[in-house]
Structure 1
Amino acid sequence: MAKSGSEIRLSLILLHATLAVAFLGFFTYAVFTGSVNLVSNAREIKLNTLPAKLEFVLKYQAPGLFTLLLCVVYAMLRRGTSPARNPLSGNEVYVLAARYILTNTLEQYVLHLVSQLVLAAYVDALTLIKVVPLLAVFFLFGRITFILGYPLQRGFGWFVTLFPNIATVGYCVYKFLIQINLLI
């Protein structure tokens, strides 16, 4: 029996989600077991204070900012080299994909940045030194695969970006609820 279009779409979404979880899990395991070292001078880094932790987090925002800048430039180039040069010309169809990619990347980057800043207040220095570079790699890789797969094969990149954001926000909310004694 042939599958319907909605069954095929659901299968594709589940495949992308499963591949993303496998990639995220494998790479996280490799970093936390020491098989992959994302910070070569980790032993020299002293994160004894919250300002030092925040500085560390901010330094690792460069890959995310670079990705965001690429999306801005892509949208600008699409507009400048198409009949949509004038945004009121009725030719927005030429820049829709670039605008959607930029919007989604900006949304994901806000979650990425803010969740890491909050995370710095809750985790110890050794964990932060492993997690923040790992999140930066996930964001960069996820956004690149999202852009390259857009629109039909964007799921893997979207999940690689979203799942770490969900995990980080979830952990921060959990720690917050424990701190205010709502969870035991």
Structure 2
Amino acid sequence: MPPKTRTDKSSRGDTQLWSNRKAVLISMSIAVTFLAATYYAYNQFGQRYVSVPHLHSLTDRLVWTLRYQVLGLSVVILTTINVWVSRLLSHAINPLAGYESVVERSNKILTNTLEQFVMNAINQLILSTYLSESNLRFIPLLNVYFLIGRIGFWIGYQIAPKYRIFGFIVTFVPTLLVFSLNAYFLSTTNSNFLFDGGKPFGRTI
């Protein structure tokens, strides 16, 4: 058998690179389509099924938004348990034994989930101070996105790291959009008038 040449290795590398890029592009397309379709459906029919209580004060808004963070927090807890179980069932039960590679993937899933949760939760709390009472119905949707996205990220990462993109997009894009809205509200003079019909929340004039 002739020895493997550098050209053969390069060809295999190019093929693998294209395969990874293809998987990423397909996952991104599916994720963006999912976000657009579910947002449209929620915007059309959400008012029928999601009711928002009268939240007259800033405290009421923050408390109502905080309660929905249990959805995202549940994924953080599950990924923490996943790391614990992975250690318990392997030599990595002793973190100093040199078997950290066994739980490396689980640790990365947990770290990324925790980072995304912090960004998502803080942005939702800020957004709740700007939105009108009726538009606070989008807070539950943001949390459902986070829950689905993190589960998709977890499952995809376990199959192969390149398949984590769907979950990452479904999680991060809503967070990025909410951050952009918050930045817009903060940086523009009339930002508070966008969603509440001309009278910014928290002002009497």
TM-score (normalizing by structure 2): 0.80
Q: Distance in 2 between matches of 1:90 and 1:38?
A: 52
Q: What are the equivalent positions in structure 2 for 1:36-115 lying under 5 Å apart?
A: 39=50, 42=51, 45-115=53-123
Do 1:31 and 1:37's aligned partners in 2 also have CA atoms closer than 8 Å? no
What TM-score results when the alignment is normalised by the length of structure 1?
A: 0.89
Change (3 A) 1:46 1:36: closer
In structure 2, the gaps of 5 or more residues are 1-11, 192-205
Distance 1:36 1:12 in 2: 36
Q: Identical aligned pairs, as a percentage?
A: 34
CA distance in 2, matches of 1:171, 1:35: 21
Per the alignment, residue 138 of structure 1 pairs with 145
d(CA) in 1 for partners of 2:189, 2:77: 37
> 1:38 touches 1:133 (CA, 8 Å); kept in 2?
no
Match of 2:134 among 115, 126, 132: 126
Q: What is the distance in 1 between the residues matched to 2:60 and 2:182? A: 19
- Compute the displacement of 1:36 (Å): 7.8
The secondary structure found in structure 2 opposite 1:152 is helix
Q: Which runs of 5+ in 1 are unaligned?
A: none
Question: CA offsets per residue over residues 14-72 of structure 1, 9 Å max, x none?
Answer: 21111111101111111111168552xx15x1112211111110111111011100001
Range with bigger deviation, 150-159 or 62-71: 150-159
CA distance in 2, matches of 1:12, 1:52: 44
Instruction: Count residues with an aligned counterpart.
Output: 176
Contact 2:23 2:162 in 1 (8 A): no
Q: Match for residue 177 of structure 2?
A: 167
- Any conservation in 2 of the 1:30–1:36 contact (CA below 8 Å)? no
Rg larger for? 2
Matched, 1:19 2:26: no
Residue of structure 2 equivalent to 1:147: 154
Runs of 4+ in structure 1 over 3 Å off:
35-38
